[in-house]
Structure 1
């Protein structure tokens, strides 16, 4: 399969039958352990693409091994999805952040969500980080539905972490606990030393689901997997005392401003909390003085009169001085992959073309 290529060129990921078997075994342990009732009674709505590792591992391989029912949609339509949930008694809805946002908007407009979504037991979100705000909005309109997040990569055959909420431990903003038979450590990306709980660093993973190599790319393979078999994921995470992991951003996406390191996701979460902003993305722009400066791409609501100063001021009130947005670009949409990941390489192209105008 091929990696998403959100920050650069997509790479061919060589996965073996052994990787797939490991994935199925871990999937069954993780999924089946969550339910007291038979997993064969679960009904899943499939909207995520199956050419991506998320959809492939879940619908093409994983759920079939559990004997679950799968309802397929050729393409996602929010109102049609709600009809299918009601008609087929869908219990589980795996999705990505943009679809979650649409689901919340539809639920807000519903007169009786318990009737419209009465069969729905759980919504799971993956493939890209989900903001705290959209999770809070989700529980306001669908309080009877559980919500979990998970983490995986093409390079790990989709195996990584899985949300595992209980009545005693609802950590909805977490990407969950480490999958069985997988090892993980959080490494300081400067010193290469392992970090304790509550410190953010690069996530390294090791286990039977790790890819063999990148196709025809020995250099990239050596950079990704060390001699002991540890995969450098490139994702910045931390873990708490209970072992729950929290993802912040991609290491490649970190903006280095005047010696400081800024995670775009932190600024994006603040931006989309503004009532006039529908969507936002932040990238770094090269600067002769500061190295890089944070630039925000912003999609505003219809009729909004927000200007650059308004956006920059809104963020400045909530962050340290070095984290301030230095430039704002208003756009009609944020380019994203089929699974909801921001295509930052496309934003960099847009920024570079606008600079030449």
Structure 2
């Protein structure tokens, strides 16, 4: 499956000027990473190997990576935290509890909860039992939720406690996930809650399912390039590729140990950007993740300073807000711990980048590009002391191939030309669900067709 973006943002760096000049000569020469015969662009990075075991699930893969991280997840407002030693047992407890409640391999579980330190536990627990997670914005209207339910037919669900009554008529059991403060209070109501029973389940009581890398792991909803909402079916292998080619690879390009980094998670975890980073990749590296339940500008500033945040993955509007608040703060504020801002999910203007770089000269600003349909695998910026291109979305990730295609004729285009960007990688989705294909079959039949 090929996916595309506006290729005017797809930059090869300083070589782009050379190519424009070359085209004016009679003899056209091309760089070694582009094939004029096939129109394929190769990544300039060496290939990275992916696990060859066909029966490797992404949860096992994440927790098989050794690291020296101590604290895994921190609630930004309360400071309540979960250590790395507790993460895998809690994931297994969720899986065991779901198994006891009748969730089996291949079932779909709806997750409609805001960011929290328990979101990754729930999501990975669903995958560990062999079920398929489908995440949705917790602020979605009931009509939007019903559309997704009609598409993917969940048999179980998680939502905020106050919305359990709304979800109950949808035809499947639902558990309310309490807030962190409620969990800390240890009230009797919490002690009697279904969620506590779930995370208190014997972590070793559920049978270990046999999961193939090509088995569906998640159904994420995206308008993609068509403008119509569709369910994107992502496999365990897709997520493994995202961890390797996106998160772990980026970490490997820097000298610092990932366990010394502190990431601020304000991006929604139901979105592929936040999911790939905070629910999957960073947990395999031992990185500390400070979780904001919802974005608040003042909380953002406080969290950066309080927890010594070093990395802040974000989106263009928040880059603007952060720059503005830093300019208005006394002496420019502190922000001394910040080392990198990575921006994605939407285009950012040159003026915004210029203002940010001038306000934060000590912070590395990079952009990246990926889609729900590619499990966030695509391109990533990388600046060095000798070369910086803050306006570029960077280079193709390792083992990723691309084409630039004329959207009228379908012909492939060489460097320096503008067209549709097609991406091929191990992160490319398995397929899409009902409305996009205009089919109404049950999920198991559709997944068999996609295999």
Q: Matches of 1:207 and 1:7 in 2, distance apart? A: 20
* 1:128 to 2:311 alignment: no
Which of residues 22, 27, 48 in structure 1 aligns to 2:246?
Answer: 27
* 1:154 to 2:363 alignment: no
Counterpart in the other structure of 1:107: 326
Q: Deviations over 1:29-53 (max 9, x none)?
A: 4222222121110000000101110
Matches within 5 A, 1:75-94: 75-94=294-313
State the 1:105 CA deviation. 0.7
Normalized per residue, the structure richer in helix is: 2
Counterpart in the other structure of 2:357: 139
Q: Matches of 1:48 and 1:191 in 2, distance apart? A: 38
Give the TM-score taking structure 2 as reference length. 0.47
Contact 1:3–1:11 under 8 Å retained in 2: yes
Counterpart in the other structure of 2:266: 47
* 1:206 to 2:435 alignment: no
Distance 1:210 1:99, change over 3 A: same
Distance 1:15 1:7, change over 3 A: closer
* 1:165 to 2:383 alignment: yes
Distance 1:135 1:111, change over 3 A: same
Give the TM-score taking structure 1 as reference length. 0.59
Matches within 5 A, 1:1-357: 1-4=220-223, 8-113=227-332, 116-216=334-434, 219=437
Contact 2:370–2:378 under 8 Å retained in 1: yes
Q: How many residues align structurally?
A: 220
Q: Deviations over 1:191-248 (max 9, x none)?
A: 2111122211100011211001111357589xxxxxxxxxxxxxxxxxxxxxxxxxxx
Contact 2:368–2:380 under 8 Å retained in 1: yes
Contact 1:160–1:179 under 8 Å retained in 2: yes
Q: Matches of 1:170 and 1:213 in 2, distance apart? A: 37
Secondary structure of the corresponding residue to residue 221 of structure 2: coil
Moved more, 189-198 or 203-212: 189-198
Secondary structure of the corresponding residue to residue 238 of structure 2: helix
Counterpart in the other structure of 2:194: none
Counterpart in the other structure of 1:288: none
Q: Deviations over 1:85-144 (max 9, x none)?
A: 11110000000111111101101102223x610000000000001110100010121111
Instruction: Please list every run of at least 4 consecutive aligned residues from structure 1 whose deviation after the TM superposition is greater than 4 angstroms.
Output: 4-7, 217-221
Contact 1:19–1:209 under 8 Å retained in 2: yes
Q: What runs of 5+ residues in structure 1 fail to find an aligned partner?
A: 222-357
Contact 1:30–1:162 under 8 Å retained in 2: no
Counterpart in the other structure of 2:11: none
Distance 1:95 1:4, change over 3 A: farther
Q: Deviations over 1:138-160 (max 9, x none)?
A: 01211111100000000000100
State the 1:64 CA deviation. 0.7
Contact 2:266–2:293 under 8 Å retained in 1: yes
Q: What runs of 5+ residues in structure 2 fail to find an aligned partner?
A: 1-219, 440-451
Q: Matches of 2:438 and 2:410 in 1, distance apart? A: 19
Contact 1:82–1:116 under 8 Å retained in 2: no
> Greater RCO between the two (CA within 8 Å, min separation 6)?
2
Secondary structure of the corresponding residue to residue 119 of structure 1: coil
Distance 1:68 1:202, change over 3 A: same
RMSD of aligned C-alpha atoms? Answer: 1.8
Normalized per residue, the structure richer in strand is: 1
